Amino acid sequence: MKRRAFISVYDKSGLEDFARNLSEKFEYEIVAGSDTYEVLKQAGIEAVNVAEFSQGNGLLVKDYDCLNETVFASILADSSDSMELNELERAVVKTFDMVVVNLRSIDDIVSVSKDADEVLSKIDVAGLAVLRAAAKNYKHVTVITDKVDYYVALNANEFGRMKLALKAFNFASNYDRQICTKLAEQLGDKPFKTFNFEKLKDLKYGENPHQHASVYKMEKMVDYEVINGKELSFNNILNVTEAVNIVSEFYDVNAVAIIRHNKPCGVALGRSLYEAYTKAFDCDPISSFYGVAGFSKSVDAEVAKHLNSMAVEVVVAPDFEPEAVELFLDNPEIKLVKLNTSLKEYRRLTVEEVVITPFGVLVQDRNISELKKEMFKVVTKEKPTAEQIEDAIFAWKAVKHAKTNSVVIARNFKTIAIAQGQTNAVSAVESALNYACDGSKEAVLASDSVLTSEDCIYSAIQGRISLIIQPGGSIKDQKLIETCDKYGIAMITTGIRNYRQ
């Protein structure tokens, strides 16, 4: 008896080759949804339109009463479209060996219209029902929801069909979750928060060798590749994320960020990528060893030579010149991560941050704060120069990504010192100035948190800081401003606090 496949797909990429193999090589009879049928017909692939496919006696899913024609049509259709759904039902209840269905994404539907009724009208609930029906009967039906499974599925055994069924159920569940989320947004109500991640792979271990870890696929994530075939570890992924977070702040210039233990230890801009790299490395050469280096532009041979002379775990960049890749081959431990997502687009990937605690699950928006003209104020009599303001903006962007309490001292688009993880702002200021030594002269001091103590100002005076940039908003603001005025230090307040635990 000839095998039969039902195909109705929104994403038709790869469909023609798959359907042609299915029909000609594996001798399947293909029944297709109307849109899919037209594509196959134009490609010269033999298929039957679902509208012409008559109902038989066999069932796709045994005793699947919810797909009874009358109930199915009554729930899903009004008088204007009942015929179309009845035709789909005729396809569902006939015996099939394979069901191939993928659906239009909810995000794509919502991008066209925000109206809840219109969104619901475009959701393929019947397609979801077909997927669930086929998945339930996985012992006899191969169900495909993802084009990457087209050829794997052709020779799937019962265990393989079960895995495909699980994928279908998961797809349907995730689709329902997205519908629920979008409807809740329409109502201005978000009583539930559901996460449904697909495992990509297990990692060797987590933060420490005794901790199991895996990496999962998100709805929106960066497109990247490890171009020399190395596997990123749990800690590598954290550090790479931090490096890209920082260089994406400066996506349109030559920028470098060096990360160690998920903390920045050097950030710089330069007229060339090499200049930016050497400036960032100079901030904390010791911590830069065995760190992760992030670049805003394509890594060239000159930069690769310097990186090869030291121990570095990962280099992440939008691209690598062929000569640079050749040089990196001499370093067997290094991992090269190429970003296929542009840094500008990366900044729009506003991912929520989730922290699971015994006291509850904490969810917050990612910190994508930016300086706003209406909040950016010079509050002292001493006015900064244009060059100092540019350094202040650079330092503010760098300190945003350091751990609270954090202070960055910078000059000429280079971090001279980064103090972070302190329990109070005074300690952070003093730690940064102690590290900077003479480098703090005429430099900018940026704080992620509000300065509330005059001791911070007095320390800055001793370090000969020329400009302080901080959130402001303390009841002691006026006293701090008066102290700055007395000693000729300029101060900018931003109104933006950037705590980072």
- Across the strands, what pairs with 254? 270
Residue 226: DSSP 8-state: E
Is 324:277 a contact under the CB 8 Å cutoff? Answer: no
pLDDT recorded at residue 501:
87
The answer to which of 204-213, 301-310, 442-451 has the lowest mean pLDDT is: 301-310
Residues 468 and 465: their CA atoms lie apart, in Å, by 7
Mean pLDDT, all residues of the chain: 86
User: Taking a C-beta distance cutoff of 8 angstroms, is the pair 279, 272 a contact?
Assistant: no
Q: How large is the average pLDDT for residues 132-155?
A: 88
Q: What is the pLDDT of residue 454?
A: 93
Measured in degrees and rounded to the nearest 5, phi and psi for residue 21 equal -65, -40
CATH topology of domain 223-346: Cytidine Deaminase; domain 2 (3.40.140)
The pLDDT tens digits for 47-77 are 888 777 644 434 343 333 333 343 433 333 4
Confidence of residue 35 (pLDDT cuts 50, 70, 90): confident
DSSP states along 45-74: ---EEGGG----S--SSTT-GGG-HHHHHH
Q: Look at residue 208 and tell me whether its pLDDT is greater than 90.
A: yes
Residue 361 has pLDDT above 60, yes or no: yes
- Span 304-311, mean pLDDT? 88
Most confident of 42-46, 64-68, 122-126, 405-409: 405-409
pLDDT at 130: 84
204-226: average pLDDT: 92
pLDDT-wise least confident of 54-63, 273-282, 288-297, 472-481: 54-63
pLDDT in tens, 182-201: 777 777 766 677 777 878 89
What pLDDT shows up at residue 77? 40
How many Å apart are CA 201 and CA 138, to the nearest integer?
24
CATH T-level fold of 3-187: Rossmann fold (3.40.50)
Residue type, 196: N
Q: Please determine, for residue 84, whether its predicted confidence score (pLDDT) is greater than 60.
A: no
Mean pLDDT of 217-223: 85
Q: Give, as one character, the DSSP assignment of residue 207.
A: S
Output the pLDDT for position 441. 95
In the predicted structure, residue 481 carries a pLDDT above the cut 70: yes
- 429 pLDDT above the threshold of 60: yes
Q: In whole angstroms, what is the distance from residue 242 CA to residue 224 CA?
A: 15
Please enumerate in sequence order all residues whose Cβ is within 8 A of that of 359, keeping only pairs 6 or more positions apart, or say none: none
Tokens of 27: 């001798």
Answer with the residue of higher pLDDT: 157 or 127. 157
pLDDT at 195: 74
pLDDT tops 90 at residue 413: yes
Q: What percent of the chain has pLDDT over 70?
A: 90
pLDDT value at 81 more than 70: no
pLDDT recorded at residue 282 = 94
Share of the chain above pLDDT 90, in %: 54
Per-residue pLDDT reduced to its tens digit, 316-346: 999 999 999 999 988 888 999 999 999 999 9
* Lateral strand order in the sheet of 444-447: 377-378, 490-493, 467-470, 444-447, 407-410, 415-419
Residues 167-192: what's their mean pLDDT?
80
CATH code of domain 377-493: 3.40.140.20
Separation between Cα atoms, residue 409 and residue 403, nearest integer Å: 15
Nearest to 76 by CA among 130, 157, 15: 130
Domains 3-187 and 223-346 alike in fold: no
Q: Which pLDDT does position 90 carry in this prediction? A: 42
For residues 406-412, average pLDDT: 96
pLDDT at 93: 42
| Res 127: pLDDT | 83
Q: Which tokens sit at 389?
A: 């303001």
So what's the pLDDT on residue 1? Answer: 64
Parse the chain into domains and list their residue ranges: 3-187, 223-346, 377-493
* Whether pLDDT at 400 is above 90: yes
Q: What are phi and psi of 419, to 5 degrees?
A: -105, 130
**What does the pLDDT look like over 264-286, one tens digit per residue?**
999 999 999 999 999 999 999 99
Residues with Cβ within 8 Å of 104's Cβ and at least 6 positions away in sequence, in order, are 10, 122, 124
Give how far the C-alpha of residue 180 lies from the chain's centroid of Cα atoms, to the nearest Å.
Answer: 22
